């Protein structure tokens, strides 16, 4: 039996025509009014049952959570709250939902905390909040691919399993097929990874950047969009162990072009959500407004969700050098009054989230792009400036989030790159393939990484990154 998505019916003007709809019962009032939802929209479709001519045993099976197939005619609604409704001619129960068992789940019709919803992540997408978040996540993903496709970028699939650590941080998940109880060992007692599946030590990727660079230096402009993994013991509302990264890389592009791309790209994707996800954004905005009513005035959002998104789209990002930012932070009231957890005393400090958010939310009141960071707090592949102490790095900072994008102009000079690798004890042999790109037609090139979940977090107005990915992975948690 073919059926019509509810979103299509709610936008339809085909009154008096017969349709079949399928979905899950959100509520059943007075043995007559079914609120039906199929996930295609946050809005329910009202289906009116002729209960006097419907078998009583069937009526008892129409419970919250049950999956049903309904055939009926589309009519103008006589009641308030909806424009149209389905007058039911036939109803079939595709899947029952026992009301007694439902009481113990988040599908029961009462308010649940986000923590409780996380405990039943397999069911939470059927709630209004998570249905809205995950539809927005899908639309944002599509917008990312659309943006790059429209602008002549090629989508490259970089490896999930890798032998290199792009960030140089060492916080990686090891991939091994060796027997954990009895692994082969070398003469000095260490695990012999030459006997492993790949013949060497391998890990889950922290970034597709290095491989992406090699493809940009052949295809011109590429982007990756895939899962990345960090074995960083950060149990915060902003970190995940498994998350998705968007990483464009461009040949013949300097840092200014990189910053231009990051700003244009983010504005395009957010604007796409504004134009195509109004119902979900309206729901999430109203949810935040209700939440704010219970907060002190100082902790409330400065503007409603959709206004905040429009502000990002309509205004230029402020571009500030790291050196200027340090001066602002050093002389700021929170720093002078020792309110920062990490005080700013001198040039060279690694900026923390509290510093980034001060610049964005208190000082400039708009997104900020910081550039030209100290070389010793950034990765080896970033281009060294002529001053010998800063690199052509840039971070895009957002209100409520902190770092949204991290990127740089890449070091294209072979001799300088080798010197930086030697200083950090990074093996030339392991990255010989990467160094080859500097031997055969090297050129100015740049790229950045955007954490997709942080973008979804900002667009949805959610406050915990664990609530914008279907099944969050973080220290101590790998359920589902």
pLDDT of 391 higher than 70: yes
Q: Which of 377-387 are b and which e, b meaning 16 or more Cβ less than 10 Å from the residue's Cβ?
A: ebbbbbbbbee
The whole-number pLDDT of residue 171 equals: 85
pLDDT digits (tens, 9 = 90+) for 146-172: 999 999 999 999 999 998 766 555 689
CATH 3.30.930.10 is held by the domain 128-171+206-317+366-467? yes
CA 432 to chain centre: 33
For residue 448, the cross-strand partners are 407
How many other C-beta atoms can be found within 10 angstroms of the C-beta atom of residue 480?
10
- What average pLDDT does the structure give for the chain? 94
Secondary structure of residue 263 in the 3-state scheme: helix
Measured in residues, the chain has a length of: 480
Average confidence (pLDDT) over 182-208: 94
Spatial distance between the Cα atoms of 73 and 89, rounded to a whole number of angstroms: 8
Average confidence (pLDDT) over 178-184: 95
pLDDT of 203 higher than 90: yes
Nearest to 18 by CA among 43, 31, 42, 1: 1
pLDDT of 263 higher than 90: yes
Confidence of residue 298 (pLDDT cuts 50, 70, 90): confident
Q: Beta strand pairing status for 221-229 and 154-155?
A: parallel
Spatial distance between the Cα atoms of 18 and 38, rounded to a whole number of angstroms: 18
- Which tokens go with 5? 């998505």
- Which tokens go with 40? 């295609």
Spatial distance between the Cα atoms of 267 and 247, rounded to a whole number of angstroms: 16
The whole-number pLDDT of residue 141 equals: 98
The whole-number pLDDT of residue 279 equals: 97
Residue with tokens 């009513």, as numbered in its chain: 293
pLDDT of 1 higher than 70: no
In this prediction the pTM is 0.94
Spatial distance between the Cα atoms of 8 and 175, rounded to a whole number of angstroms: 46
pLDDT of 296 higher than 60: yes
Q: Which CATH number applies to 6-102?
A: 2.40.50.140
pLDDT of 302 higher than 60: yes
Average confidence (pLDDT) over 104-133: 93
The whole-number pLDDT of residue 393 equals: 98
Average confidence (pLDDT) over 374-398: 96
Average confidence (pLDDT) over 53-65: 95
Secondary structure of residue 276 in the 3-state scheme: helix
Nearest to 478 by CA among 182, 231, 139: 231
- Which tokens go with 184? 């082969």
Average confidence (pLDDT) over 372-399: 96
Which of 296-300, 358-362, 447-451 is least confident?
296-300
pLDDT of 135 higher than 60: yes
Task: Confirm if 172 and 206 have CB atoms less than 8 A apart.
Answer: yes
- Which tokens go with 380? 């080896």
Q: Beta strand pairing status for 368-374 and 318-321?
A: parallel
| Domain positions in the chain | 6-102, 128-171+206-317+366-467
Nearest to 344 by CA among 328, 360, 359: 328
Please give the backbone phi and psi of residue 99, each rounded to the nearest 5 degrees, phi first: -55, -35
Secondary structure of residue 121 in the 3-state scheme: coil
The whole-number pLDDT of residue 167 equals: 59
DSSP per position, 298-349: GGS-SS-HHHHHHHHHHSPPEEEEHHHHHHHHHTSHHHHTT-SSS---STT-
Please give the backbone phi and psi of residue 220, each rounded to the nearest 5 degrees, phi first: 90, -60
Spatial distance between the Cα atoms of 294 and 418, rounded to a whole number of angstroms: 56
No. of H helices and E strands in the chain? 15, 16
Average confidence (pLDDT) over 216-234: 95
Average confidence (pLDDT) over 297-306: 88
């Amino acid at each position: 039996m073919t059926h019509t998505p509810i979103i299509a019916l709610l936008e339809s003007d085909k009154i008096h025509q017969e349709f079949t709809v399928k979905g899950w019962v959100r509520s059943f009032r007075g043995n007559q009014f079914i609120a039906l939802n199929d996930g295609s929209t946050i809005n329910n479709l009202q289906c009116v049952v002729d209960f006097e001519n419907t078998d009583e045993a069937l009526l008892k099976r129409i419970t919250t959570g049950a999956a049903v197939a309904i055939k009926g005619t589309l009519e103008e609604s006589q009641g308030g709250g909806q424009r149209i409704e389905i007058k039911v001619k036939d109803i079939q129960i595709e899947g029952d939902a026992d009301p007694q068992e439902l009481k113990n789940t988040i599908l029961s019709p009462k308010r649940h905390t986000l923590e409780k919803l996380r405990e039943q992540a397999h069911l939470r997408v059927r709630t209004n909040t998570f249905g809205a978040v995950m539809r927005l996540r899908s639309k944002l993903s599509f917008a990312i691919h659309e943006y790059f496709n429209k602008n002549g970028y090629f989508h490259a699939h970089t490896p999930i399993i890798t032998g290199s650590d792009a960030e140089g941080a060492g916080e990686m998940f090891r991939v091994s097929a060796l027997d954990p109880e009895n692994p082969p060992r070398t003469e000095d007692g260490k695990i012999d990874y030459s006997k492993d599946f790949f013949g060497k030590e391998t890990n889950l990727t922290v970034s597709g950047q290095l491989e992406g660079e090699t493809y940009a230096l052949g295809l011109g402009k590429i982007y990756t969009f895939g899962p990345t993994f960090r074995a960083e013991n950060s149990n915060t509302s902003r970190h995940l162990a498994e998350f998705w990264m968007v990483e464009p890389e461009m040949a013949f592009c300097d840092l200014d072009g990189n910053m231009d791309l990051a700003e244009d790209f983010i504005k395009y994707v957010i604007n796409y959500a504004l134009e195509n996800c109004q119902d979900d954004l309206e729901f999430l905005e109203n949810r935040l407004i209700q939440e704010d009513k219970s907060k002190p005035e100082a902790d409330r959002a400065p503007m409603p969700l959709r206004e905040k998104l429009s502000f990002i789209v309509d205004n230029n990002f402020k571009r500030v050098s790291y050196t200027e930012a340090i001066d602002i932070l050093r002389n700021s009231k929170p720093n002078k009054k020792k309110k920062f957890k990490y005080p700013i005393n001198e040039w060279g400090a690694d900026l923390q989230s509290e510093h980034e958010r001060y610049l964005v939310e208190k000082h400039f009141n708009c997104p900020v792009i910081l550039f030209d960071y100290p070389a010793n707090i950034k990765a080896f592949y970033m281009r060294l400036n002529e001053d010998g102490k800063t690199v052509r790095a840039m971070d895009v900072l957002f209100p409520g989030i902190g770092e949204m994008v991290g990127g740089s102009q890449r070091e294209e000079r072979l001799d300088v790159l080798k010197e930086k690798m030697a200083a950090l004890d990074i093996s030339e042999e392991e990255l010989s393939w990467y160094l080859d790109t500097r031997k055969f037609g090297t050129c100015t090139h740049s790229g950045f990484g955007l954490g997709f979940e942080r973008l979804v977090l900002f667009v949805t107005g959610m406050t915990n990154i664990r609530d914008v990915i279907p099944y969050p992975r973080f220290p101590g948690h790998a359920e589902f």
